[in-house]
Amino acid sequence: MIKKKTTIKDIANVLNISPAAVSKALHNDSRISEKTKTAVKQVAKNLNYQPNHLASALRSGKSKLVGVIVPRTNSNFFSSVLQNLEEVLNKEGYNIIITQSNESYKKECDSIDALLYTQVDGIIASMANETVDLSYYEKIKAKGIPLILFDRGENDLNVDYIGIDDYNSSHLIVNHLVNQGCKRIAHIGGFKRTRIFNNRIRGYINALEKHNLPLNDELLIECNLTIEAGREKMLELLSLENRPDAVYVAGDYAALGALQVLKEQNINIPNEIALVGFGNEPFSSMVTPSITSIEQHSKDIGKKAALAFLQHIKNNTVKQQLTKTILDVELLIRDSSNRNNS
């Protein structure tokens, strides 16, 4: 048999008081005696009473819940953002509901619907790779719910955004590779329909131009930046008649796949082909050779995204001056691209 959920009325019947008195006692109302509060809380515990947060949110207009949408949680970058975001929000009495899109537009839309149904007080999100149609995000804005985007977001939405300087990151990487003597630099990037990856591609192209290096279409590849995609695209580059002497990969997981292929093919890293990743995942410093990568400052992004949401709540409006916070990055030079140490 399905056990019936305990309600405030059940507690009231046990104590022979009104449901209103029970509700006040559970909320520590000063008009209820300490004796009654103690009795109510004890009976609530005995009956395994669980508050209906959705009903409470509907009554008060505040759920003290913040929805967070990430492409995936098995990434150090996103898990670090979540940890720091939650830490800041918890101190202000908020809890977070985490959903992951797995880079699927449909899953992202379903998550938005679920979070709106749950009456969250705000949504903090990093968009899926597949997302092009922004109508679901416009729906959040139309409901007057604060929307904060981080890492991946579109300027067209005109909402608060926290991220890094993706364009300049590519310049740092290409400059470093040129200083190592590389002249034929390939880029395994994300899909350019996503703003951050488009910015990395633009930065790569412009950096090549700055150093008077040719741009070859065969050296610019888009993919979903998984380990498997990194392996596949590295094999494609190795099959070229004129191989690259350096490969800049826009994500550490794909860089790991590329590294695996280079080692399997007994290619000297970095002397034959130098390799640079992006994101500073923990494994990037642990593999052999260690992978040069970009530090994205995930801790700061998480904290600043939480503070942006809290600022909206403090001002009680979603029409305040919307801000764009762009953090500088750091290139962590390691063995995979440092020819001076090889």
**96, exposed or middle or buried, with CB in 10 Å at 0-12, 13-18, 19+?**
middle
What is the pLDDT, as a whole number, of residue 53?
A: 60
Please, which residues have CB within 8 angstroms of residue 89's CB and are 6 or more apart in sequence? 66, 95, 96, 306, 309, 310
pLDDT digits (tens, 9 = 90+) for 309-337: 999 888 775 555 678 899 989 999 999 99
Domain map of the chain by residue range? 8-51, 64-163+298-328, 166-296+331-341
Task: Name the class of domain 166-296+331-341.
Answer: alpha beta
Are the folds of 64-163+298-328 and 166-296+331-341 the same? yes
Q: Whole-angstrom Cα distance, residue 119 to residue 141?
A: 14
Q: Which strands, in side-by-side order, build the sheet including 274-276?
A: 220-222, 185-189, 246-249, 274-276
What is the pLDDT, as a whole number, of residue 158?
A: 85
What is the pLDDT, as a whole number, of residue 60?
A: 54
Q: What angle do CA 326, 332, 334 make, to 5 degrees?
A: 160
Q: Please tell me the pTM assigned to this model.
A: 0.79
What are the CA-CA distances from residue 254 to residues 139, 194, 231, 333 (Å)? 34, 17, 7, 18
Q: And the tokens for 56?
A: 């409470």
Q: Which residue has the tokens 């930046």?
A: 225
Q: Whole-angstrom Cα distance, residue 134 to residue 108?
A: 11
The identity of residue 25, as a single letter, is: A
pLDDT digits (tens, 9 = 90+) for 108-128: 999 999 999 888 999 999 998
**Which mean pLDDT values do the consecutive 10-residue runs of the chain (342 residues) have?**
72 88 84 89 86 59 87 90 95 93 92 92 91 88 92 81 94 97 96 90 97 94 94 97 96 97 97 96 96 95 95 72 85 94 64
Q: Whole-angstrom Cα distance, residue 156 to residue 136?
A: 13
The identity of residue 202, as a single letter, is: R
Give the other-Cβ count within 10 Å of 124's Cβ. 27
Give the architecture-level CATH label for domain 64-163+298-328: 3-Layer(aba) Sandwich (3.40)
What is the pLDDT, as a whole number, of residue 342?
A: 56
The answer to whether 335 and 116 have CB atoms below 8 angstroms apart is: no
What is the pLDDT, as a whole number, of residue 67?
A: 95
Give the DSSP H or E segment for 324: strand 324-327
